[in-house]
Structure 1
Amino acid sequence: MYILIFFLAHWFLSLFFQTFYLHRYASHRMFSTHKINERIFHFLTFICQGSSFLNPRAYALMHREHHAYSDTEKDPHSPHFFRDVFQMMYYTSKSYGEHVRRLKQPEHRFNGYCPEWTLLDRWGSTYASRLMFIAFYTWFYITFATAWWMFLLLPIHFLMGPIHGAIVNWCGHKYGYSNFDNGDKSKNSTPFDFLMLGELFQNNHHRHPNKANFGAKWFEVDPVYPVMKFMHWVRIIRLRKPVVA
């Protein structure tokens, strides 16, 4: 029971901060917030992603490239140019790494505000930081696992962030249906979207990239949007009005 709770907590908390902070805030600026709140969200993203912490600046720049070049040869992670999901993940990691190390000069149009916390971003990307989290996950499993097969979940903990990204980018551009003709291959992968907290409404999102609610039809429920509405209501964040093309 402890292992299942720990796994689900890590899965959904890591995913929440990936979609809420890295995607909807860092990449698209769907809301504004006080600098103190930004630092809190930044730190919680580091804690919840743990060994697979993704640098917000690098994530945002790569994601903006993805929208600009969706499903073309310049897309950093379109599934239609790779043999399998592992090859896509490898190429994506290379592109991400170039942004982390600032080896790649982003196009001027992608250079809008990206949240940065120099010390935390550097520490979170070190082997030491990642190994500390891996050691903690392993200790937890050694302490609480009641069957050998539970240890098969450990690699998912180690690579939680990239795994979430791979699921969204592979499935969200290959499987499902389309509400809009966006000129790309983006799809909505309902009903599995709930497990990805709205991220698999890719077709809707590519149509309205600045809209905080990824759902478009009545049955398309984005579970993160009500959380954002509540945070807006209590003035933790301030939702921006989406620019509709």
Structure 2
Amino acid sequence: MTPLERRVNMAAVFLPFAVTLAAIPIFWGSWLGWSDVVVFLFMYLVSGLGVTVGFHRMLTHRAFQTHKATRYLFAYMGMLSVQGPVIDWVADHRKHHAHTDTEGDPHSPHVGEDGGAMGTLKGLWHAHTAWLWRTHGQARAHKYAKDLVEDRGMRVLNRKFPLIVGASLAIPAVLGGLLTMSWHGALTGLIWGGFVRIFLQHHVTWSVNSVCHFFGKRRFEVDDHSTNVFWLAIPSFGESWHHNHHAFPRSAAHGLKWYEIDPSQMVIGAMKRVGLAWDVVTITPERQAQKLVGAKKAAPAAKPEEEKVAEPVA
């Protein structure tokens, strides 16, 4: 990736954030206040963890087990992010892992890339946004998400997606109105906790698809282009330790080093401590060492059960 291509890609990621941040001092006091910040953060946290803990680690990869009611709650929270119905999301992501960075991957920046500058930019554009109207939702649910299709509760939630999208906008409006006891607060709550939050959350998720498959750090032997990108860790709730995730897809923790901050894993760890999660999949340091780049090929592979320990990774 040339310096120009990298700058163009980063501009596509950061420009929407910059515009929104620039609007804050302009609108502060009249169209942005503390109530809007509270509503934004609350909605971003709830819907974001619904995607990372619920859609991704719990439902797609079965990194831990929980009660049915908790599964349905996280599925609902994930759909508040407006990233699609739960079954479609899971099917697309499992297909992504089945064909990572090869033909069939719904959102790889590398498939069809001709190696030139324009090909690279087209690949990044496809992975970041264009896949949503090209390959999004095309993964066959009965093949890639059969367990969810056979779950009546998940089917019901899946069908209610349009109503949940409405709730994703109505909830911040109601919260804003209650916090300020005004229609103006309801309107600004809708703007910042609804539209702006969804917009920013989408770009963070899309950046995992594009940025985290193009540049960053790598340390494990994997057959794809996944990378770890540290500056996305907080807004993505730990999803940007994407190379770690592709090395060990079932791991509940994506941050495998003490300094790799992973808020989603912290939530899963807290759930385990209060009895809301069990059979939490973790990867032993020995197993990680075996998969490092340059590790001896003769080292014996860990047995599947060695990837589960009693306590979650901190």
Q: Same fold (TM over 0.5)?
A: yes
Could you tell me which residue of structure 2 aligns to residue 17 of structure 1? Answer: 50
1:3 aligned onto 2:36: yes
Residues in 2 aligned to 1:129 and 1:112: alpha-carbon distance in whole angstroms: 23
Cα deviations by residue, 1:19-51 (Å, 9 ceiling, x for unpaired) = 1000001100011112222223233334x42xx
Residue 219 of structure 1 aligns with an amino acid whose one-letter code is Y
Match of 1:230 among 257, 261, 270: 270
In the TM superposition, what are the counterparts of 1:109-188 in structure 2 within 5 Å?
A: 110-111=144-145, 113-114=147-148, 116-124=153-161, 126=162, 129-131=164-166, 133-134=168-169, 140=176, 143-144=184-185, 155-159=195-199, 162-188=202-228
Residues in 1 aligned to 2:192 and 2:261: alpha-carbon distance in whole angstroms: 31
Asked which structure has the greater RCO (Cα within 8 Å, sep 6+), the reply is 1
How high is the TM-score relative to the length of structure 1? 0.78
Could you tell me which residue of structure 2 aligns to residue 27 of structure 1? Answer: 60
In the TM superposition, what are the counterparts of 1:196-215 in structure 2 within 5 Å?
A: 196-215=236-255
Deviates more, 1:168-177 or 1:111-120: 111-120
Residues in 1 aligned to 2:68 and 2:194: alpha-carbon distance in whole angstroms: 35
How high is the TM-score relative to the length of structure 2? 0.63
Residues in 1 aligned to 2:251 and 2:90: alpha-carbon distance in whole angstroms: 16
1:175 positional shift: 2.7
Cα separation, partners in 2 of 1:121 and 1:175, compared to 1, 3 Å: same
Q: How many residues align?
A: 231
Residues in 2 aligned to 1:154 and 1:43: alpha-carbon distance in whole angstroms: 16
1:18 positional shift: 0.3
Match of 1:61 among 72, 91, 114: 91
Please say if residues 106 and 131 of structure 2, whose CA atoms lie closer than 8 Å, have aligned partners that are also in contact. yes
Residues in 2 aligned to 1:6 and 1:153: alpha-carbon distance in whole angstroms: 5
Cα deviations by residue, 1:1-31 (Å, 9 ceiling, x for unpaired) = 2222222222222111101000001100011
CA RMSD of aligned residues (A): 3.1
In the TM superposition, what are the counterparts of 1:75-114 in structure 2 within 5 Å?
A: 75-81=105-111, 83=122, 86-88=125-127, 89-99=129-139, 104=140, 107=143, 110-111=144-145, 113-114=147-148
Residues in 2 aligned to 1:118 and 1:65: alpha-carbon distance in whole angstroms: 19
Cα deviations by residue, 1:27-84 (Å, 9 ceiling, x for unpaired) = 00011112222223233334x42xx153222111111111121112321111234616
1:146 positional shift: 11
Residues in 2 aligned to 1:136 and 1:234: alpha-carbon distance in whole angstroms: 28
Please say if residues 234 and 263 of structure 2, whose CA atoms lie closer than 8 Å, have aligned partners that are also in contact. yes
3-state DSSP of counterpart to 1:29:
coil
Percent of residue pairs bearing the same amino acid type: 24
Could you tell me which residue of structure 1 aligns to residue 233 of structure 2? Answer: 193
Unmatched 5+ stretches in structure 2:
1-33, 112-120, 178-182, 283-303, 308-314
Cα separation, partners in 2 of 1:225 and 1:75, compared to 1, 3 Å: same
- After the TM superposition, which parts of structure 1 deviate over 6 Å for at least 4 consecutive aligned residues? none
1:151 positional shift: 5.4
1:136 positional shift: 5.9
Could you tell me which residue of structure 1 aligns to residue 19 of structure 2? Answer: none
Deviates more, 1:214-223 or 1:16-25: 214-223
Match of 2:103 among 73, 77, 81: 73
Please say if residues 83 and 89 of structure 2, whose CA atoms lie closer than 8 Å, have aligned partners that are also in contact. no
Cα separation, partners in 2 of 1:198 and 1:93, compared to 1, 3 Å: farther
3-state DSSP of counterpart to 1:179:
coil
Residues in 2 aligned to 1:53 and 1:78: alpha-carbon distance in whole angstroms: 17
3-state DSSP of counterpart to 2:147:
coil
Residues in 2 aligned to 1:178 and 1:170: alpha-carbon distance in whole angstroms: 15
